[in-house]
Structures are given as C-alpha cells and as structure tokens.
Amino acid sequence: MITKAMINRVLKTMTWSLLLCVPLCTAAQPPHIANPPDTPTPAALEPHLRVAHVDLDYVYDPDPAQTRRNADLLVQRIINLGVNTVFLQAFADPTGDGLVRALYFPNQHLPMRADLFKPVSERLRSEAGVIVFAWMPVLAFDLQKDLPRVLRWQPRKSTDTDTDTDTDTDTQQYQRLSPFDADARRAIEEIYEDLSGHARLDGLLFHDDALLGDFEDASAAALAVYVAHGLPGTLTDLHSDTRNFQRWTRLKTRTLTQFTLRLRDRAQTKQTQRILTARNIYARPVLDPESRAWFSQDFDDFLSHYDIVAVMAMPLRGHHAASLSRLDRHPGRCCFDPPTGAGQNPV
C-alpha cells in the first residue's frame, strides 16, 4: 500500500530534482518562430518560468482511487511550489530502461497503461494555473519488430573490407527506431497525432532519446539516405574522410530536428493554438562544439527551432552552471534540466 507520506516524499523529490529552473523565458514569442497561418497565439510563457518535470509513473497506481489521491497531492505540491510550467510525462517507463512500451493516452500503436495524461494535465492547468508541455519520446518506442532500429557500427580491427557487417543495437543506449525509415516515422507521427487529438497541448517537450552517436545509424534505411545525399554508403568510408564525416553529422543533426518539427506539425493539426516546443540537449555539445558528432545535436540549431532549450546539466559529471556560461548569451531561451536516471544517458 502506498501511503500519503510516501507519495508526498516522492513528489517532493520529483518536483524539485527533475528540473532546476532559472529565469529562462520572456513572455513574448521568440521572433524566429512564426505562428502557422490562421493559428492563434500560443499559451503565454511567464517572464520568469518555474518549471517542474513530472513523471506520471509516480502518480499511477493500479488502484484508481489511489491514483486520484496521488494526483491530488501532485496538484497541491505544484501549487505550493509556485510552479507555472509543467513538463508532464505522457509515456510510461516503469522499469526505467528508456524503452517506451505503453502510453498514458489512447493510441493506435501501443497499450495504454492508463488514461492519465489528459485528466492530470487538465487539473494542473485549471487548479494550479500552469502551462503544460507533453513530455514525449522521439524514437524510443517499442513498436513492431520489422521496423528498423538504429544500429551502431563496430569498426573492424582489420581494414580488409569496406562493408559494415559488424552492426547491432547499442545496449548501452536508448533502443531507438531509425529516423531514416519512412514506416517508423509514420507510426511515431500517428502516436503524436493521437495524443493531440485526445488532450489539449500547450507545448511538447522532445525527450533526450533524439540523438545519434558518431557510429550510428548503420541501418539499411539510413545508409540509403546517406547515398541519396551524395555520401558514401558505408560508415567505414564516412569515418575515413573528414569532410564527409562532417557532412554526415550535419545530415543526421538536421534529420532529427526536422523530424521533431514534423511531429509538432502532426500534433498541431488537432490543436487550436500554436504548440510551444522544447527539446532536451546534452550538456557536452553545449560545452564542446566538437562533440556535436557524438550526439548529432547542435545548440545553435536548437535555438533556431525551439521555444525552449532544456540543457541536461549533470553536476556529478562536471556540468556546473559556471561551465555553461555560454547560456548567458541567450536569456529567456534555456534552462537546466538535471536527468533523473531513466534511460541511458551518455556523458
């Protein structure tokens, strides 16, 4: 039995530790992000945001009555903390391995653990007066097995072949669908559309699974796209030429960004106001631009395409606020987002 004291303690930890916020957003819409035609102005962000990252796995309980009590405690905690924006988890990840096998809303592709996102978001909006972003994965969905996954290339010790036969999913990383496969993209887009058709969305927070390492993606779908863009069709060749490697990194970075924007657009078709966007970025590409290839993430690219950039600062890994002073040049656009251990987070 989950007691009130237990839930209160969990929610206190959850609300404070998941997102350490600094003054980060102006109330005005960023000038570089235009409203789609005939779309009303988005929800107004407060001049200084106080954001909580809420994990619905801690609110859910097999007993519906207990779930309601947990939601009561959550709403009151948000009110007590003076939070004005919530990044609310819309997917279930009770095992914490980062692979999404169920969702908190009805959809056509994955089981629904409980219809929880909509009622909790409505209560947070009406009772706590907050703006609610749906926190959603981008690629780490456990969909049908015939959809291609992101594959990691394992370089051979010998250079007697130019094929990429030593490939497999990276067990130390999120298990992701390949963003280069049209069928995988279509299924994910349908999930986002299902979410938007079921619940009001003030914004979308794109999860940190939207990354590709410097030895990914070696799937057949990805290799075909590389060739179509005038790049070599093997990772051996891509790694052997600096210019091609840089072009390849830019292609992967652009592919991930464009896909998130496509997801926003699919969700937008079911909403009456413009959906705000936020996306997680690992601290390393912010601290060291040369490391962009390790993640296929670019801080300047994020600033150009999203309303909020949530930097995953991890103090235990040396990501102190002082070392992230570059963010000072972008007031109103960035926040620090300490991860809580779910999924596989690279340095």
**Is position 164 within any domain?**
no
The per-residue DSSP string of 154-207 comes to: ---SS-S------EE--TTS---B-TT-HHHHHHHHHHHHHHHHHS--SEEEE-
For residue 72, the enclosing domain spans: 4-141+181-211+260-336
**Is position 189 within any domain?**
yes
**Is position 347 within any domain?**
no
**Is position 224 within any domain?**
no
**Is position 343 within any domain?**
no
User: What's 58's domain CATH number?
Assistant: 3.20.20.80
Q: What is the pLDDT along the chain (347 residues), one digit of tens a residue?
A: 444 444 444 444 443 333 333 333 333 334 344 454 454 556 767 667 788 889 999 999 999 999 999 999 999 999 999 988 999 999 999 999 999 999 999 999 999 999 999 999 999 999 999 999 999 999 999 999 999 999 999 886 655 555 555 777 777 789 999 999 999 999 999 999 999 999 999 999 999 999 999 999 999 999 999 999 999 999 999 999 999 999 999 999 999 999 999 999 999 999 999 999 999 888 888 888 788 888 899 888 888 999 988 888 765 444 445 455 555 555 455 665 655 444 443 33
Provide the H-helix boundaries in 211-241.
220-228, 235-240
The pTM score is 0.82
> How many independent structural domains does the chain possess?
1
**Is position 252 within any domain?**
no
Give dist(CA 322, CA 240) in Å, integer.
36
**Is position 168 within any domain?**
no
With b meaning 16 or more CB within 10 Å and e meaning fewer, what string describes 192-222?
Answer: bbbbbebbbbbbbbbbbbbbbbbbbbbbebb
**Is position 176 within any domain?**
no
